[in-house]
Structure 1
């Protein structure tokens, strides 16, 4: 398991911006060292542990990109059509001798180019003659409609870099190079738990002042989508000693602990005191809305991130704090989600110096532009705001207000989770 020092997140400055928090995570967290070989069919979403170096070029041989007629460009007459007798036929997977000089070869997509032939005329561009010859139009450049060996990937090059999160397209590259398995980092082990007397398990008896715990299933699902192995430690009541005991137990065998609720400074918010008694806590004051407060610390070598209890705040801070932490622990390259420019169809005022995320859905306006429509309410406890919108409008620290017609950045939920 990843062993972190108790002061790896120590930060003595003012309130952290989102970018500063991510930088601190990426520079202070150490990736797990254990790796394993995994079959390609099981490697989707895993983090590549070492570079995949191409043992052969892709494509491995020069081949035709189209169905047509292959010739030697040196046989083509300058500036006029050429008449060539067709000699031979070559399909994908086959072999054929090079035709005599001044002759053409009938060739199909993917078939290897015989030595000496370097240009292919598409079959729809030629005129077939009654005597078995073809009339080739003028103007085609030498090498046209041919895929050279190594055009896609050169032998000996790094085809896939360590730290890549493997998707279907990366697995296709590995397969094209002849690999049956890849070396990946082991899955990050994460313990997840909720805190508070006010939450109960869905389906359990609920008191008049209690809520069903929705955060834990949301966070566990998001963690699994990040490729983590998740251990569920349930709901821990508001008791500092009990919270400390559960956190100490969760630290055993896990790389990361993610909690929900109890990270504020109120008398009944016990996560801060519990972590300080079991390890070291640096209580982050992040300049983010929704999202503050967020806690971070280390317990017996395991990182801890304490998220707010309000579900929208928990969702937003997971995306911007927990996901970069998982990437760092997994040795993955973290790339901040890139907002897509859209037009605002709402007014909004915000506090400068803080990054805010506004829930919105998109529509196509009458002029064809994409517009963002703000969810009508702003509460951080409104779960429906996450299901009735398409994503988040990101408002940077230097913006204080938004007016209809302004360009804003939009993050699709599909980008984030």
Structure 2
């Protein structure tokens, strides 16, 4: 029994030690499990964060791809608009260059005609010499108020020149001065230079002509064009001349009565009828060439002015096209810069997305590993718990057995002590009987 008690005591000690070890192991596993749970929760929170970041980056990437698509479409439209504007610009520049060339040619023609006019081709030598003298001495010209020849201030269209040439041919070489008071000085000037006969008119002494009674024709002031200072004088002087409508009308009117002096009638064929004379046939006068050139100058000047207006208009259009082109170019450059920035942002965002996706995978792996570790610890804890429960049960059984053995041992010892006491008493009694 003592041996069994010793054995039970030894087993109980071993199982108690095992239980203590298991308790400590369970405590450690519980702490580790709690730490793993905390880590798992932390990593799950991080995973949720990273997943949100990945989702945000994917949405941002999608938005940026849409923006890039819109920008690409806008750039394509701008490219097309720029091509159209460049074509318009090139065409406008070509037209402008052509107009400028035409204008330059017209100006050269005007200058050439004006240069010819300065020599007064077709006029008498007296007129040429007089005009050369006064043009060479501007001070004298200004002092005597010489404006030029009447031919310098009158123009007639080529279509009507033959009809009015009987009248205008005889007045083209008349010298125009500003003031009648200068005639005495002019007389001395002409005598001093031994000039031939010259005709003069004074602008401050216009013709005095009564109103015409004929109303079946056109007065020459409505046909001729006068420049600047000659306008008033010319309109009054030429108001006595009337261009009748047609040849038949001309002779029909003249059969009944001739014009009263100082009025004169003209026909479209060049007939000139006064109160007492009739002239007909083509006028032979070199001064008409001057008038034709003068009209050419007017026509070319009008043509040059029209070209100049077209040039100005085209320059404005060209400037507008250029500004629009530059504006489109700037918009294109701005859009290209925006596209480059967006491309860079896309690359950057894509890298961030890849980084977040990698972090998401790593975090997911970590969470999975932690979950696996937690599961392993849970299994180990379950196993240890079972072992601990088994050890506890065994300890309980052994303690019960030990208690029973100790009780039995106590009873045996008491019985032995009782037997010993009896034996001792018997021995003493035996000794006393000896």
Superposition TM-score, scaled by structure 2 size: 0.17
Report which of the two has the higher share of helix.
2
Scaled by the length of structure 1, the TM-score of the pair is 0.18
Higher CA-based Rg: 2
Asked which structure has the greater RCO (Cα within 8 Å, sep 6+), the reply is: 2
